[in-house]
Structure 1
Amino acid sequence: MEQKIFHDFGLSDFWDDNDYSLKEYVEDSPSDELIYSIEQELGFKLPASYIELMKIHNGGTPNNCCFPTSERTSWAEDHCAITGIMGIGRTKTYSLCGSLGSQFMIDEWGYPNTGVFICNCPSAGHDMIMLDYSKCGKDGEPEVVHVDQEWDYKKTFLAKDFESFIRGLVSSDVYDTSEQDLINTLDTFKTGQFSDILQEYFKKDTSLNFDRILRNLFTELTTGKGYFGLHADELSHLAYDIQFYLLSINKSIKNREQFQKEYPPMVAMGNNEITTGGYADFFLDWFDQKIISKQITKKLFGGLSFTDGYKQQLFKQIKKYE
């Protein structure tokens, strides 16, 4: 007798039906007609185990959100993490054919069109979980892989099929190293090296010790958050201020697009120890605000820079970190 899908696997406590998940992920149970139309739109036959799980609970956030790996991913040395499983539908943001669903990641983010992207990851698009049909064909049983956009769309094998993937999910508590990670990060700020390009920029203006200022600023910011990340908070804005100032006195920044290109190598994707290892668009929001408030203006002969008044205000504010 054929073994039932998810035989002896407890699904009663599998899902975390928080408000965000219910709003952005969870669809009504899909009809056979909807399933067929989604398959036609995506160009792949969905696995029976995925369809069965979605008929029970169509998308959402699992309580266990980590999957072990035998090799490093952009998320961790030994696992990857997910934030949600996409349901079969079109009405929710993170459904297979929703506004930020599988096809969106292929069309707008350049992910490979070799399968169906079913899980978002905490990086907000920089890595995804995919049903990979490369070996089995569009009507076969796909493997589950982790796809890393930051690493040239590198695929990391996770499970032979969707059911095995679901059964293999584990709690994030298994990998909770946040306390030691924080200690290691704070130690890095004491002796670690900034990116080569930022070290060169430090030499252009020695009126302040920008090396020491950034180390102390990052220490305060990271101690408060519990991890090193630049977002939309006040201390992150100070970090953007300093980086833009150093950039503007070393290069002629003509426009927003050039700033977007020149920003990552300093700290966000730096080539030495002191780096966030990634970034979102918060620094561009900061840039837009500075342009609107006219704290960044175009120099008479050259590119964009802080006004003299804002530069004085900034120097006064950051001198306490020296």
Structure 2
Amino acid sequence: MKQTLIEQLNNWHEEEEYQKIVDLLKTTPDVEQSYEAVSLLARAYNNLGLYKEALHQLENIAEAGKQDPLWHYRVGYSLYHLKRYEEAAQAFHRSDQLETGDQSTEYFLRRSFQKAEKQKREQLRLARKKASLKRGDYIERKLPFSDMNLTDFWDDSEYARTSYQSDPPTDERIESIEKELGYKLPSSYIQLMKQQNGGIPRNTILPTEDSTSWAEDHIAITGIMGIGREKDYSLCGEFGSPFMIEEWGYPDIGVVICDCPSAGHDVVMLDYRACGRDGEPEVVHVDQEDDYEITFLADNFEAFIRGLVSEDEYDTSEEDKQHDVDKVMHGKFSPLLEELCSRVTEVEQMEQKIRSICARIVEEKGHFTFHANELSYVMYDVQFWLYTKSYPNTSRDQYVSAYQNIIAFGGEFGQGGYAPSFVTDWLDQRIKEGRIVQNDGILRLTNSFTEEIMKQLNEA
């Protein structure tokens, strides 16, 4: 391939214009015989999430790639996201043998081994459960929660009453919700909802044998959805089970029963894969941030409830910190942040500069938030520079409104919330310092402050 074409493809890669790479290489005459062209095409397919297409392209150049660590890495990356973890581990292991010390290879190698072992256990457990149900093994039944004191189970708050709690469900309401969901709700869940129909429990932590994106040994829930439609967090409410499956892409294996503190990026579900739509479901954790990874939690809903413990039993600071480090280093940028970064020509590797600064923030604070400190102010400055560079006629109200869509609620690379007063206080401070000026309602950075921001970025 010509050097100019390679440079163009690499520039598009840096700008995350992966479809342009695919479109060009598919029409380039030498793509079928050029090892480098096919490898770059596979990389673009991987970045577009088209892992089967990427793997197909890489298989076409398998003979030439035998001694190329990058070829093995890209094969492993495709297999990893296709959930073929054992094969992915083999590919990453070979890449590591050919070129030791690559951090990304080592990360995916470790994760592939972990997920392969977990996948084997999950397949074995489901097979045993299905076999047990087929045999009709006897299970002694008793009245749900008959020996459990539920008096202090719920944490009463205005938020819980407003967002979760509905009137006790009638038989007609239960039947209607089950029909809409397409699943029979477990008797233990119905029994608990008749005691209180949705809410926030006092104990919100469940110990786990497997690690998740939340922690090494437990998950956390925010609340339990009630049987209804009127509350935001009820089974068929605005953010209920159908919404999470249809809009967020959660697997259609049952019913979303609990939301989690990640603001939609992981949930707890009733899992009907083994028992069928009318059977007794298991309870699982599903992690949207990790390709909808499923982690077994409990044999049934009652066991799940009985397993909840107080958050006081866990010091999650290190797990929270590592979770946020992984988030800022690997999380996908919001569409707006991607757009803003793609238009930057003054600073090289803009995405990595942002990730580097945010990683330092996490190291200092232990979590990914911006407050009224020096590094946070750098990120407030950077976001404002990025936004007004693309949208120069921005007023104060327009920027404050747009701010939340850059990083605060940025999805994978996001904080899940923010304090508006921190943003407006930063803006007032910069205006007071004369670093941001306002003319006819339009905000802009001074030239000297723009140079200062770019210097900080280049040194990041």
TM-score (norm 1): 0.68
Classify the secondary structure of the residue corresponding to 1:67: strand
- Taking the aligned partners of 2:271 and 2:151, their CA distance within structure 1 comes to 28
| Aligned: 1:134 with 2:277 | no
Cα distance, 1:155–1:244 mapped onto 2, change above 3 Å: same
Instruction: In structure 2, give the amino acid aligned to 1:106.
Output: I
Structure 1 gap ranges (5+) = 270-276, 297-305
Matches within 5 A, 1:171-190: 171-178=310-317
Native 8 Å contact 2:358 2:368 kept in 1: no
Native 8 Å contact 1:217 1:239 kept in 2: no
Higher helix share: 2
Cα distance, 1:215–1:33 mapped onto 2, change above 3 Å: closer
Native 8 Å contact 2:215 2:319 kept in 1: no
Which position in structure 2 is the counterpart of 1:51? 190
Cα distance, 1:181–1:136 mapped onto 2, change above 3 Å: closer
For the pair shown, which has the larger CA radius of gyration, 1 or 2? Answer: 2
Native 8 Å contact 2:210 2:217 kept in 1: yes
| 1:91 CA displacement | 1.0
Which position in structure 1 is the counterpart of 2:93? none
- Taking the aligned partners of 2:185 and 2:268, their CA distance within structure 1 comes to 15
Which position in structure 2 is the counterpart of 1:160? 299
Q: CA RMSD in A?
A: 4.7
Instruction: In structure 1, give the amino acid aligned to 2:446.
Output: G
| Aligned: 1:82 with 2:218 | no
TM-score (norm 2): 0.49
| Aligned: 1:42 with 2:181 | yes
Which position in structure 1 is the counterpart of 2:94? none
- Taking the aligned partners of 2:254 and 2:175, their CA distance within structure 1 comes to 16
Cα distance, 1:6–1:90 mapped onto 2, change above 3 Å: same
| 1:239 CA displacement | 4.3
- Give the % identical residues: 46
| 1:238 CA displacement | 2.4
Native 8 Å contact 1:85 1:118 kept in 2: yes
Specify which of 219, 241, 262 is matched with residue 380 of structure 2. Answer: 241
- Taking the aligned partners of 2:278 and 2:358, their CA distance within structure 1 comes to 54
Classify the secondary structure of the residue corresponding to 2:199: coil
Specify which of 282, 301, 309 is matched with residue 446 of structure 2. Answer: 309
- Taking the aligned partners of 1:140 and 1:311, their CA distance within structure 2 comes to 67
| 1:240 CA displacement | 3.2
| 1:218 CA displacement | 2.7
| Aligned: 1:109 with 2:248 | yes
Which position in structure 1 is the counterpart of 2:154? 15
Deviations 1:128-168 (A, max 9, x none): 00001111111111100000000111100000000000011
Which position in structure 1 is the counterpart of 2:82? none
| 1:79 CA displacement | 0.4
Count residues in correspondence: 272
Segments of 4+ moved more than 2 angstroms: 213-222, 233-248, 252-255, 277-283, 313-316
Deviations 1:199-255 (A, max 9, x none): xx9x948xxxx89x9489838972xxxx42225x5558624335448979xxx9699
- Taking the aligned partners of 2:173 and 2:164, their CA distance within structure 1 comes to 16
Cα distance, 1:165–1:181 mapped onto 2, change above 3 Å: closer
- Taking the aligned partners of 1:108 and 1:67, their CA distance within structure 2 comes to 26
Work out which structure has the larger RCO, using CA pairs closer than 8 Å and 6 or more positions apart in sequence: 1
